Chain A
Amino acid sequence: MNKGVGTMKLVSGKTWFKGWSGIMLATVLAGTTVLAGCSSSGSEAGATTADGKSVLKVEVFDRGNSPAGSTISDNYMTKLVNERFGEPNKIDVQYVPIPRSEELQKLNVLMASGGDVPDIVFTYDQGTFNRYAQQGGLTDLTDLLNQYGPNLKKFLGEDTLSYGQIEGKQFAIPGKRSVLGKYASYIRQDWLDALKLPVPQTTDELYTTLKAFKEKDPGKVGSGLIPFGMTIAPAQYEPLLWSFVQQPLTDEQKYTLTQKLGSSDYPTLLPGFKDGLKFMNKLYNEGMISRDFGLDEDKKQLWQDVQNGKVGFYTEDAGELYFTYNGTYKNLQANVKDAKLTPADVFTNNEGKHAKPEYASNGLYIMIPKSSSKAVEAIKYLDWMASGKNLFDMQNGVEGENYTLKDGVPVAKENASTEAQNRLYNYGDMAIIANGKVAGTEEQNNDAYIMQVPEEYQAAMRKSVEISNTDTIPPVNFNKPIEAEAKYGSALQDKYSQLIVKATMAPTAQFDTTYDALLKDYMSSGGQAILDERTKVFQEGGANK
């Protein structure tokens, strides 16, 4: 018996050792397999599910706001797609989440990985789209669109589709943007009333008003007072800077002196830009604008200051403060009794117009990577979205629960159940072919857009949208991509921010030298290359007018 136990011990000891080394070996092997999996690109191409459906993978932005019970890849919207589109077409639509804040970096990594990239990807960044197309990474959709996308073509229209064409080939399906206005200004009506001042109508009047805010402090804010709320995000500085651009511009000036970085036009070289910065510098040195605006990239600090009643005036994406998800105005009214913000159109240019930029008529660039074997299914999916009531239902939810129809325009229900509200939390990222609500005519679209905010704010919202559409400056486009913009775009956005911040914060006497030094740096970091290429393409007649 003794002997028996001894043997057992020995055996178990050995088995233990064998088992352990087995695990180690397995780990090492597993590591190798993972690597092999990475390098064999396209091994998953043509993947099917167990029940014979083919798999279509679609990118989706993850904003980390999925309500309890849903995930970004499994929610009301994904179920709706698979039920209405997936079942009849024998396609399993799967969603690949990409964090919104690092969308470009992740997309670059996914595109480089080849086999793992979703069949439908998208970005707002024009430079990135151009680069992918030029490097031959995208499927040419010209024929596929004719064959499988009649509804899609009709929905988008030639004008929008042209944004996705490079030298006649359709390399991206541009989403359609229904609301083009960008910015409006907001001013504290209760402060104006206390000082018996009218709502300012021009830049000069604004200056006087800000000065009065600063000196008389009608809101009794004290040392934290910010007459003019500023950040280093476009919505706060663009309306001011663009209003200083000297109009009228010749076509040549418009096309060659504008610089498109990312997805917006920048006025860096246009006449008058420097005067705009000089005005900002003056405001800063007189203590009118937020001291730390250079640190506030995501507007969080500004919103907080507005909500706490410290800000007298600011410019913003039209109506942003009224939306429930933003809540700036609601919180302000909760924090400061009788606080009232009025939408205003303030900055005037040399022609007396309230000039401000507007969006291009396209939204996302929707692309199908060349490595995808599901281009047909992908176009079918987008075509499905554009047909019938599908897009409408994705944007608005269920009638009677999420909205009621008023003159053909969906009006969000005031007291919709949480379940109903949760249906729509990510509709904008799922209904990718449209940016903004699509209800029918342009007017109906605008109405639908306005009706999204709580009823008490709808009048102010309507005014904001009106302001944002007044005297707008549309973006300019060429019929072929400017390569230098794809290459230097994101680096130059940094330089541009730096130019604004440093020039604004410079002591008055040093404004000119600071401005010159930073502009020189901007030009040599790619600004000059963009200018040269734009001039060349313009002379070749490449301007889209």
Chain B
Amino acid sequence: MKTSTYLRRYWQLYFLLILPLAYFAIFKYGPMYGVQIAFKDFNFFQGINGSEWIGWDGFREVFQNQDFYRTLRNTLMLNILDLIVSFPAPLILAIMLYEVKTVWFKKLSQTILYIPHFISWVIIGGIVYQVFGTQSGFINNLWVSMGFQPIPFLTDPNYWLITYLLTGVWQSAGWGTILYLAALTGINRELYEAAEVDGATRMRRIWHITLPGLRPTIITLLIINLGNMVTIGFERPYVIGNVAVQEYSDVLSTFVYRIGLESGQYTLATVVGLFQAIVGLIFVLGANFAAKKTTGEGIL
């Protein structure tokens, strides 16, 4: 078919594409114009064009700032720990849910597991204080009434890490099962039946059928997660963190918030943003390359 006839016949479909394309153009590519702020002494009364070029001075200042290294270290640390603790959680949950045969129980557990995802971090922060505080938290009240010393879940950095990680699992694990459950529906039931006939135990079936069936999904999610290694959400560390544990809870996003929105040093904030984007890209490409080499599967 000639291109012109083809276009004339399917023009509606191409037309439909305009909306998503416009979205990307306006919200994803448009703002890239502002990346030049990283190389300018940005004065917002003069605008981007009116500000003077300063070359790499902004980068020099950021890379000399010890808070930058501390927040970068914390970001990586929290993300790596999150990857170890929170990444397998939805996978395990999904497999467990998949093995449940009572339909009503399965539906009920799924709903209960999803709910925390819809609670905003600000509210979770309030709940965490009420549960884990040393003075008014109910766990500690129980603990102290049994005659023990209170446990500083929120004010000792190491205990705080545990609180931070487990709160994350509680909030997101249920929601994370959705992708895995969707992938599981794609596995041919006959494989299980055949395995059962051959006398494979439940664990064997999970190991040899379920997990291989989930492999592409796991790899995709892993690559996406690795790409986000240097970016971290603002709300969770900001809300769960506090002054006493700032040596761990201060991350790149809170750092950018502080120097950008609070102190008005937009140049430095943009430098950090650009740095995160570049490192993120390297991580995604690297993880993809490694995945292709070892398993033959990737996303690019």
A-B interaction: yes
Interface segment among A130-138, A174-182, A423-431, A449-457: the answer is A130-138
Per DSSP, chain A at the interface is: helix
Q: Are A291 and B259 in contact (CB under 8 A)?
A: no
Does B100 touch A at the CB level, under 8 Å?
no
Complex interface residues of chain A between 53 and 111 (CB less than 8 A to chain B): 104-105, 108-109, 111
| Interface 9-mer from B111-119, B128-136, B188-196 | B128-136
Contact (A498, B12) CB under 8 Å given A24-B18, A128-B264, A223-B144: no
| CB-defined contacts of B246 to chain A, threshold 8 Å | 494, 498
Instruction: Fill in one digit per residue for A284-312: 1 if any B CB lies within 8 Å of its CB, else 0.
Output: 00000011101101000100000000000
Nearest A residue to B264 via CB reads A108
Which DSSP category, helix, strand, loop or mixed, fits chain B's interface?
A: helix
B168 in the interface (beta carbon within 8 A): no
| Assembly CA distance A128 to B265 (angstroms) | 11
Let me know if B12 and A494 touch, CB within 8 A: no
Chain B window 260-278, contacts with chain A (Cβ cutoff 8 Å), 1 for yes, 0 for no: 0111111000000000000
The answer, yes or no, to whether A482 is at the interface (CB within 8 Å) is: no
Chain A contributes a number of interface residues (CB within 8 A of B) equal to 50
Indicate whether B10 reaches chain A with its CB closer than 8 angstroms: no
A27 interface hit (Cβ, 8 Å): yes
- Among A320-328, A342-350, A460-468, A483-491, the stretch that binds chain B is A483-491
Given known A-B contacts A35-B26, A524-B66, A291 and B19 have beta carbons under 8 A apart: no
Q: How far is B265's CA from A24's CA once the two chains are assembled, in angstroms?
A: 39
B191 to chain A, nearest CB (A): 45
Count chain A CB atoms within 10 A of each CB in B133, B258, B263, B266 and give the residue with the most: B263
Q: How far is the CB of A267 from chain B (nearest CB, A)?
A: 18
Contact yes or no, A301 B155, CB < 8 A:
no
B12 and A224 form a contact (CB under 8 A): no
Contact (A136, B133) CB under 8 Å given A131-B264, A494-B246: no
* Nearest-Cβ distance from residue B240 to partner chain A, whole angstroms: 11
Interface residue count on the B side (C-beta < 8 Å): 36
B244 touches A505 (CB 8 A): yes
Task: Select one of B45, B135, B150, B261 contacting A370, CB under 8 A.
Answer: B45
- The answer on a CB contact under 8 Å between A490 and B263 is yes
Assembly CA distance A93 to B295 (angstroms): 67
Q: Given A294-B155, A494-B258, A502-B244, A136 and B136 touching (CB < 8 A)?
A: no
Beta-carbon contact of A31 and B244 below 8 Å: no
The one of A112, A128, A295 in contact with B44, judged by C-beta atoms closer than 8 angstroms, is A112
Q: Are A31 and B22 in contact (CB under 8 A)?
A: yes
Q: Using known A-B contacts A108-B261, A489-B263, A494-B258, determine if residue A31 contacts B26 with beta carbons closer than 8 Å.
A: yes
CB <8 Å contact, A292 and B45: no
Partner of B45, one of A135, A290, A489: A135
Please tell me if A525 contacts chain B, counting CB pairs below 8 Å: yes
B264:A501 contact, CB within 8 angstroms = no
Smallest distance from the beta carbon of B20 to chain A beta carbons, Å? 11
